[in-house]
Amino acid sequence: MLIWWLSVVGLGLLLLGWLGALRNVLRRADQPPEFTLDGRHPPDPLPDPPPSLSIVIPARNEAHNIEAAVRSALAVVWPGRLQVVVVDDRSTDGTGEILARLAAEDPRLVVIGGADPPKGWLGKPHALHLAQQRADGDWLLFVDADVRLAPDGPARLVGRAILQGAQMASGLGRLTVETFWERVVQTRMGAVIAGGNPLAKVNDPDREDVMANGQCLLFSRAAYDAMGGHEGIRGSVLDDVDFARKAKAQRVPYRLYFAPDVFACRMYSGLTEIWHGWTKNLFPALKYSLATTAFVTFFMFATSLLPFVLLLKNAALAAMGHPVDPTLVALEGALCVVILAVDGIGHRVNGYRADLFWTFPLGMSLIILLFWNSAWRIRTGRGAVWKGRVVEGRGA
């Protein structure tokens, strides 16, 4: 009887939690207006005269991405001087030829070559360290080669940062998903990350919560130099989070925005890239802690997957003619319905397809596996491989 009551109370509390999540999704509670940059409001005004802006893009074997990324940067509507700096980080796939052609078309584009990183440096921080030396803007906007900037996106980001007195800012842009596996995993991973890093907490300078998105990192030149630039995080896999951590530690005013109309990004194309890409990021994001990995994945399983497991178990028992408890089955069924409703409505509210709500258990199962694959490969010294480089290979 005690186990029955504990089960009822546990399932009931979980149901209340998910009903609260449904209310928040319907009210867009995760998108506070002061930290949201979307088309519902015009960009905040920039100072007069406007500051100069340098957009910095790293490119390693990005022949399929780089032209669209550079053209979106050059198409930015900026009232002051605009510069785009791209570092071709030893590409072997034609990226350099594309950049040379684009540079010949527009003098605002500066292309430099990468170099082997010195000992203690990872490839991306070193490439960006080289690139920023050619950037002469009052503000530096670092974006990835798979980012597509909206024409008024940088103005929205810089304008809000200046209005709020921030010297560093980052944005959570619109995630572009095209294949089945991207829709199954990527949107759920985005929800997990956003849910674990509420904007109100991240943007509170007195809290230790930190989060940033390396797809879009903005600094005033003065703040970037004062924080030590990329040299200060030279060996970091999560350069974005480490920059945010340094900003809070040094009391550099910092903001993270929900920024769907600042940029869009297709992070990974297909399951293979998803697997390798998140493998390099997840264990470092949990500070290489197996205990934290165990806690996070158990929490995700208990709150997101366990109701489906229990309902499936009881359905199987009933099909075999065994008695099942109707109260527990009702609670499990209600939980599964509400969870799928939160997933589907959340997708629709954020502009994604809602008809794949039924893949929620599959997506969350893969995310849990990704956390453990990241921990296993990094802890055993096998490393995470990205674009032909071992980017994270520390052993136990």
We report the CATH number of the domain holding residue 160 as: 3.90.550.10
Residue length of the chain: 396
Is the predicted pLDDT of residue 307 greater than 50, yes or no? Answer: yes
Please say whether the dihedral angle defined by the alpha carbons of residues 176, 178, 181 and 184, taken in this order, is positive or negative.
positive
Residue 389 pLDDT level (bands cut at 50, 70, 90) = low
| Domain-terminating residue out of 209, 238, 269 | 269
Residue 170 tokens, joined: 């980052």
> Among 269, 298, 329, where does a domain finish?
269
Shared domain check, 140 and 22 = no
Mean pLDDT of the chain: 93
Structural domain harbouring 128: 41-269
For the packed helices 290-300 and 360-379, what is the interaxial angle rounded to 10 degrees? 170
88, 173: one domain: yes
**Same-domain status, 253 and 338:** no
Q: Give dist(CA 139, CA 32) in Å, integer.
A: 25
pLDDT at position 82 is 98
Domains: count for the chain:
2
Burial 157-173 (b: 16+ CB within 10 A, else e): bbbbbbebebbbbbbbb
Q: What is the distance, to the nearest Å, from the Cα of residue 350 to the centroid of all Cα atoms in its chain?
A: 15
Domain identity same for 258 and 304: no
pLDDT tens per residue across span 339-349: 999 999 999 99
**Same domain, yes or no: 63 and 15:** no
- Arithmetic mean of pLDDT, 106-118: 94
> Which pairing describes strands 82-88 and 147-149: parallel, antiparallel, or unpaired?
unpaired
Would residue 36 count as lying in a domain? no
Q: Is the pLDDT of residue 354 over 80?
A: yes
Closest of 53, 67, 58, 63 to residue 152, by C-alpha: 53
The predicted pLDDT at position 31 comes to 87
More reliable by pLDDT, 396 or 289: 289
Question: In the beta sheet, which residues pair with residue 168?
Answer: 219, 254
193 domain residue, yes or no: yes
- Tell whether 302 and 229 lie within a shared domain: no
pLDDT of 393 strictly over 60: no
Say yes or no to pLDDT of 180 above 90.
Answer: yes
* pLDDT over 80 at 120, yes or no: yes
Question: Per residue in 73-85, pLDDT tens?
Answer: 999 999 999 999 9
Instruction: Name the more confident of 114 and 293.
Output: 293
| Closest to 340 (Cα-Cα) out of 12, 102, 9, 25 | 25
Can you tell me the mean pLDDT for 32-53? Answer: 92
Residue 173 forms part of a structural domain: yes
In a domain, 276, yes or no: no
Comparing C-alpha atoms, which of 379, 353, 349, 274 is closest to residue 29?
Answer: 349
Nearest CA among 69, 47, 45, 254 for reference residue 150? 69
Q: What is the pTM of this model?
A: 0.89
- On whether residue 278 sits in a domain, the answer given is no
- Average pLDDT of the residues in 8-30: 93
**143 lies in a domain?**
yes
Q: What proportion of the chain, given as a percentage, has pLDDT over 70?
A: 97
Same domain for 49 and 15, yes or no, is: no
> Domain boundary residue among 234, 269, 304?
269
pLDDT at 392: 59
Confidence of residue 390 (pLDDT cuts 50, 70, 90): low
pLDDT of residue 218: 98
Give the C-alpha separation, 55 to 216, whole Å.
10
Shared domain for 214 and 101, answered yes or no, is yes
Q: Does residue 282 form part of some domain? A: no
For residue 279, being part of any structural domain is answered with no
Residues 114 and 253 reside in one and the same domain: yes
- The reply to whether 194 and 300 lie within a common domain is no
The stretch 359-370 carries a mean pLDDT of 97
246 and 293, same structural domain? no
195-252 pLDDT tens trace: 888 999 999 999 989 999 999 999 999 999 999 999 999 988 888 999 999 999 999 9
Q: Give the pLDDT score at 359.
A: 97
- Binned at pLDDT 50, 70 and 90, residue 396 comes out as very low
Question: If we measure between CA atoms, which residue out of 126, 207, 208, 217 comes closest to residue 169?
Answer: 217
Query: Cβ contacts of residue 360 below 8 Å, gap of 6+?
Result: 188, 304, 339, 340, 343
328 and 10 in contact (C-beta within 8 Å)?
Answer: no
Same domain, 60 and 184: yes
